[in-house]
Amino acid sequence: MQTLRRTARPKPVLYSQKGMGSAANKAADAANKQYKGFVYLPLIAGWLVPGAGHFLLRKWGRGALLAVSIIALFVLGLAMDGKLYSSAQDILEMLGLAGDLGNGLMYIIGRMTGLGGDPVQFTVADYGTKFIEFAGLLNVIAAIDAHNLRTGRKPS
Amino acid sequence: MIRPSHFTALLLVAVFASTVFGITMRDTPKRMVRYGLYCFSLFVGSAILLSWVMYFMAR
């Protein structure tokens, strides 16, 4: 009796699993060559403007969700009288400044317009400061995700 | 100027962070949603659990 055997075509390994550099993934990457231009553009654009890296790669839905989430955290942080770090006198301020810088243009515009300049005087303002730092760190993650999509390291 | 409670602030952070984590850490829409919900439940669940632990420690 003859058994039917289906020759399984190798599928690309998912992003969260091991084996990202496998032959199947390299073949999948070949289909990812649709993106042209400067390879670091989505990374830089995504850092400067939340979601812009995904927009450049035509990932409209993801880019919009990322932009809304990150901008909302930043704006809520400012609305809660959160502080934008401007100097780094000690290690905690250095870490805060690093987080704030992840916000890209939002941080620069905020500093230029004098937002977030008041010192923290009550608890909610401290929450706001953390919101702003967290928005910056999430923006860096989103920009790196756009870069991974651009290079084909993340399949889709 | 808005002044949310500590728990409302936690919910806001959990919603937005889970959205970003879901999109960036998974690669299909279904898995993104599942991972986002998983992160959200961990954010909120661990905060509630820790707050009860601290409540009993303070007594």
When scoring B27, B33, B34 by the number of chain A Cβ atoms within 10 A, the one with the most, hence best to mutate, is B27
pLDDT band at A35 (very low <50, low <70, confident <90, very high): confident
Chain B residues in contact with A141 by the CB 8 A cut-off are: 20-21, 24
Q: Do A69 and B19 lie within an 8 Å CB cutoff? A: yes
When scoring B2, B3, B5, B30 by the number of chain A Cβ atoms within 10 A, the one with the most, hence best to mutate, is B3
B17 touches chain A (CB under 8 A): yes
ipTM value: 0.92
Q: Do B9 and A65 lie within an 8 Å CB cutoff? A: no
pLDDT greater than 80 at residue B23: yes
In 3-state terms, chain B is what percent helix, strand and coil (to 5)?
85, 0, 15
pTM, 2 dp:
0.84
pLDDT greater than 70 at residue A30: no
By CA distance, what is B25's nearest residue in A? Answer: A16
Mean pLDDT over B16-27 rounds to 96
pLDDT greater than 90 at residue A120: no
- pLDDT of amino acid A63: 97
Helix (H, G, I), strand (E, B) or coil at B3: coil
Chain B residues in contact with A145 by the CB 8 A cut-off are: 23-24
Mean pLDDT over A108-122 rounds to 90
Q: Do B23 and A66 lie within an 8 Å CB cutoff? A: yes
Kindly list the domain boundaries of chain A, sorted by start residue.
37-151
Q: pLDDT digit string (tens) for A68-97?
A: 999 999 999 999 999 999 988 899 999 999
**Distance from C-alpha of B35 to C-alpha of B41, rounded to nearest angstrom:** 10
